[in-house]
Amino acid sequence: MKMLSILFLGLLISGNALSSTNILFLGDSLTEGQGVDENQAFPRLVEKYLREKKHDVVVTNGGVSGSTSASGVNRLKWHLKKKTDIMVLELGANDGLRGLKLTETRKNLEEIIHLAKDKKVKVLLVGVLMPTNYGKKYTGEFEQMYKTIAAAEKVPFLPFILNGVATKTELNQADGMHPNPKGHEIIARTVTAFVEKNL
């Protein structure tokens, strides 16, 4: 515990962390950058691109592979121990892939957003789409769920993070699900524009 406290303290007293805009990416394997270098995963690239555009930002990659929306609240509590100004929420894809009830997913995502708002953290919601093999009904409902949350919670919303990357063999790893470094680069460009607009 003490060691963690020291680490947090270290981060808190860092002048850089105090003056910069701290962005937390809370997500799953896409955010974590499963299968690629941490520096090649899109959150780190977003940091790089924003800095190139003279924005003083510090990004924390809070992605955990395989995570569902149910883990979000607890993980956010962990991250909120340090200064966080913006949270980019990218969760729910694994809920969909496992065919979980969307009412549960929606409830979880809303809880995360409420917690962030309570702590004065600006929320940016990022959505994903389900593969078409999940059926018209489920994929439709899944897509609608994000739109409904964004509207209800009045948070900026990026409908499809994998736009321009999904289904393209050359931009994905062998599993066809996770982007390769080139795919992450495209995602980073999309997300950078979205974040920059909402800084």
Partner 1 sequence: MSFMKFFWRDFKSDRSFNWFYVLCASLGIIGLLLVESFKVGVEDKIAKNAKNFIASDLSISTRRALDEKELKTIEEYLAEKKFNYARWTETYSLVMKVQKNTDHEGPLSKLADLNFVTPEFPFYGSVVLEDQGRKGPGDWSSIHATPTVWMSRDLSWELNLKVGDHVKIGETVFTVGGIILQDQFSSFRGFNLAPKIFLSYNFLPQTQLVKFGSTATFSFAIKLPDDTKTKEIRKELRSLLIDKSIKIAGPKEASQQISKSLDLLSDYLSLITLMTYLLSLVGLYYFTQHFLSKKLKTFSIYKAMGLKTSFLFKVNFIHLIVVTTFAVVISTGIIVGVLPFLEIFFSKLVGEELFFRLNAMSLVRILSLSLGGSLLALGPLFWGALQTPVATIFQDLPMELKRIKFYYFIPLFLYVIVLAHLLANSFKVGSLFLGALGAIIILAAICFKVVTSLLDRASGTLAFVNRHAVRTLSRYFTSSFTIFICLLMGMTLTTFIFQLEGSLRKEFTQTFGNKRPDLFIFDLQDTQAEKFEQITKAEGWNRTMFAPMIRGRLLKINDKPTQKKETPGESDVNFQTREEENSESMRNRGVNLSYRPQLSWSETLVEGKFNGEKCIPSKRPCEISLEQNYAKRLGANLGDKLVFDISGIEIEGIVTSMRTVKWTSFEPNFFILFQPGVLEEAPKTFLASIKVKDYAEKQRVFTKMAQTFPSVSLLEVSEIVRKLNAVFDLMVVAIKFISFLSLFVALVVLIAVSFNHLELRKREMGLFYMLGLKLDTIKKIYGREFSFLIVFCFVLSIVFGTGLTVLIMKNIFNSEIVYRLRFVVPVMAALGFLLFTIVSLRVRQLVKNKNLF
What positions carry a catalytic annotation? 29, 175, 178
Q: What six digits make up the tokens of 22?
A: 């701290």
Q: Is 52 in the site for partner 1 (CB under 8 A)?
A: no
Q: 20, 21, 65, 148: which one contacts partner 1 (CB under 8 A)?
A: 65
Specify the stretch interacting with partner 1 by CB under 8 A; choose among 49-57, 93-101, 119-127, 147-155: 93-101
Kindly determine how many residues on this chain lie close enough to bind partner 1 according to the rule CB under 8 A. 64
The contact pattern for partner 1, residues 12-31, with x = CB under 8 A and - = no contact, is ------------x-------
Q: Which is nearer to partner 1, 70 or 199 (CB)?
A: 70
Q: 21, 83, 138, 153: which one contacts partner 1 (CB under 8 A)?
A: 138
Q: Is 1 in the site for partner 1 (CB under 8 A)?
A: yes
Q: 27, 34, 161, 191: which one contacts partner 1 (CB under 8 A)?
A: 34
Q: What is the 3-state secondary structure (H, E, C) of the chain?
A: CHHHHHHHHHHHHCHHHHHCEEEEEEECHHHHCCCCCHHHCHHHHHHHHHHHCCCCEEEEEEECCCCCHHHHHHHHHHHCCCCCCEEEEECCHHHHHCCCCHHHHHHHHHHHHHHHHHCCCEEEEECCCCCHHHCHHHHHHHHHHHHHHHHHHCCCEECCCCCCCCCCHHHECCCCCCECHHHHHHHHHHHHHHHHHCC
Task: Report the nearest approach of partner 1 to the CB of residue 7 (Å).
Answer: 6
Specify the stretch interacting with partner 1 by CB under 8 A; choose among 85-93, 117-125, 175-183, 190-198: 175-183
